[in-house]
Structure 1
Amino acid sequence: MTDYAASTDFATSAAPADVVRRQYLASAAGDLEALRATLAPDVEWTEMAGFPLAGTYRTPDGVTANVMERLGADWDGWTAHDDTYVTDGENVVVLARYTATNKATGKPIDVRVAHHFTVRGGLIVRFEQFVDTAKVREAMP
């Protein structure tokens, strides 16, 4: 596997899969500034109906405040483990897995997920999540 973080080309690449990968790396590191840097000013970020944070969020600050910061407040070790990328032009579909432990219940999750990103001009302009929301809710109070 390529060490993406060490590659200067990767760090500045506008290729859709590279932009998406930087978003996952920033999220896993808890680096919200770097994560916001991958998002377009008018980003539309949709968490699936039935997911605890269901809804569509706009702006990089809106996404990090309403999704990443809330996940961090409610879950220990929330991580999206990206493993398979399917790219078609500006569209990137990522098959991944969420792992975390709910802070209130102590129950862990290990759930498969698919994410659809649209990347234009080196920034994520749209995100849509697909996940088994029942598995996530089973770990919650």
Structure 2
Amino acid sequence: MTETSTAPTDVVRRQYLASAARDLNALRATLAPDVEWTEMAGFPLAGTYRTPSGVTSNVMEKLAEEWDDWAAHDDTYVADGENVVVLARYTAVNKATGKPLAVRVAHHFVVRGGLIVRFEQFVDTAKVREAMQS
């Protein structure tokens, strides 16, 4: 993978690397100006966010406020043209309860012109909520 590659899987991988490094500028650089980023219904941050700064301020920064060591571990990539599905895991510890989270997730990305234009999250929201309840 080269830094300048616009191949959909490379763009998505850069997004995960930026997230892991907590580099919000690098993460925003992977997102299209009109990105639609959807967190699943039932997830604490459920909703669709637009613009790169809207995504990082409403998702990544909020996760950092409520969880210690939030990480999305990208395990398996399945690509079909501009569609990239990533089978992954979230791990974290909820700051309020001290409870750990370890849950499988699937992420669907659509990449066009070297940028992520759409994201949809699939996660067992009950497991997330369980870690948030004392």
Query: Secondary structure at 2:6's aligned position in 1?
Result: coil
Partner residue in 2 for 1:43: 35
Distance in 2 of aligned mates of 1:62 and 1:115: 19
**Which segments of 5 or more consecutive residues in structure 1 lack a partner in the other structure?**
1-8
- The amino acid of 2:48's aligned partner reads T
Partner residue in 1 for 2:16: 24
Structure 1 segments, 4+ long, off by >6 Å, are none
Deviations 1:47-75 (A, max 9, x none): 00000000000000000000000000000
Distance in 1 of aligned mates of 2:55 and 2:82: 20
Partner residue in 2 for 1:127: 119
Shift of 1:10: 1.9
Equivalent residue runs for 1:41-80 within 5 Å:
41-80=33-72
Distance in 2 of aligned mates of 1:38 and 1:111: 25
Distance in 2 of aligned mates of 1:59 and 1:34: 14
Partner residue in 1 for 2:94: 102
Distance in 2 of aligned mates of 1:103 and 1:13: 37
Identity of aligned residues (%): 84
Distance in 1 of aligned mates of 2:33 and 2:73: 25
- The amino acid of 2:30's aligned partner reads T
Query: How many residues are paired up?
Result: 133
Query: Secondary structure at 1:53's aligned position in 2?
Result: coil
Q: Is 2:132 aligned against 1:140?
A: yes
Distance in 2 of aligned mates of 1:63 and 1:15: 22
Across the aligned residues of Structure 1 and Structure 2, the Cα RMSD in angstroms comes to 0.6
Partner residue in 2 for 1:84: 76
Distance in 2 of aligned mates of 1:10 and 1:81: 20
